[in-house]
Amino acid sequence: MKKDIPDSLRRALTNNHYIPVIGWGYPDFVSTPWSEICSDLGNRCSVEKAAKQWIHISGPHMLTLYHAVANLQTNCIIAITPDNLLEETLRYYDHQWLRLEQDKEYDTRDHNIFIPLGGDIKAPGTMIILQHDFLYLRFKENILWNHAHSKAALNPLMVIGFDLKDACIQDFLYDLRSDHVSGQSGWVICEHADGEDRLLWGESGFEIIETRLAEFLKDIVRISNEPTSLTSMYTYDLETPYKHLDYFERTGVPAIMAQNDHLTCTVR
C-alpha cells in the first residue's frame, strides 16, 4: 500500500535539507541477490569477476532511480558501492557534478558533490563491501568519509536502494549521521518492511517509508522542483522605473506581469 510522503520529508525536499544515499538496489530494484550471483559463477569465482557480473545485472534496473535522483534539487549525493551509470546520469543532467576521490583535494564551492563510499568502479574488486570493510572504511577512505560525515551532520539522509535486513548498512548509516545537530537521522525508502525492520531502524533514528517506488520517485522529483512557499511571501505591486525595463528571474523569464494598470513583481 502506498504511504504518503511524511511532512518531515516533504519539508526537507522543499528546502533542500537532506542528503540522498544511494545503494545498489537490492531487493527493491534488483531482484537477483548477491549470493545468487556468487552461486551462479561458482566457488572459484574471484570477487572482481563477481562484482563485474553484479554491475552488469544491476545497472539497467537502477536507471529509474538514477534519473530521479539526478533531477532532485540537491548538491550532494552519497553512494555506497557506486555504479558508474549513476555518475554518468548525474553529469548528463548537470556537468557541475564532481566525483570526489580519496587521494585528491578539491575546491567544491562551485560544484555539486558526488561522494562514492565503499568502492571504486575502476577497480571492481573493491565494489564488494564486507562487514569488516565497513568497520575500517572511515580510516581507509578518511577523506571521503570526512566529506560525507560533515554533510550528514547537517542534513538528514534519504536512503534508497538498500536491503533493510543488512545490519552493516544500518550501523554504517547511523555512524555517518552520528554527529547530527538535531532531529531524526532520516528516512529509509522501501516497498516492503516488517515490524522488526521498523523497530531496528527506528532505534537508529530512521523512519521507514513503505511505498510504491515508481510513484514515490515521481513525487519527490515534483516536490523538490516546486517553487517554495517563500514566493508568495514576497509578492507585491510595483511599477517599473523605466519603460520596457522588466525584472528577470534566474530562469530568464520576466517576473513582472501587467495586472489592472499595476505590475506585480515576484521575488524568489
List b or e across 30-45, with b for residues whose CB sees 16 or more CB atoms inside 10 angstroms: beeebeebbeeeeeee
Residue type, 33: P
Q: What is the pLDDT of residues 60-77, one digit of tens each?
A: 888 999 999 999 999 999
Q: What is the pLDDT of residue 74?
A: 94
What's the pTM? 0.77
d(CA 119, CA 117): 6
- Residue scoring higher pLDDT (30 or 114): 114
Please give the CATH number for the structural domain made up of 7-225: 3.40.50
Q: Which residues contact 33 (CB under 8 A, 6 or more apart)?
A: 26, 27
Q: What is the pLDDT of residue 122?
A: 63
- In degrees and rounded to multiples of 5, residue 158 shows phi and psi of -105, 105
The Cβ-side half-sphere exposure at 134, using a 13 Å CA radius, reads: 17
Q: Which residues contact 13 (CB under 8 A, 6 or more apart)?
A: 5, 72, 220, 223, 224
Q: What is the pLDDT of residues 212-250, one digit of tens each?
A: 999 999 999 999 999 864 444 444 344 444 444 443 444
Domain boundaries of the chain, sorted by first residue:
7-225, 230-266
Sign of the four-CA dihedral 52, 57, 62, 66: positive
- Residue scoring higher pLDDT (40 or 200): 200
Q: What is the pLDDT of residues 3-52, one digit of tens each?
A: 689 999 999 999 999 999 998 888 898 877 766 766 665 555 566 677 77
Q: What is the pLDDT of residue 136?
A: 66
- In degrees and rounded to multiples of 5, residue 223 shows phi and psi of -65, -40
Judge whether 197 and 164 are in contact, CB under 8 Å. Answer: yes
Least confident of 14-18, 132-136, 154-158: 132-136
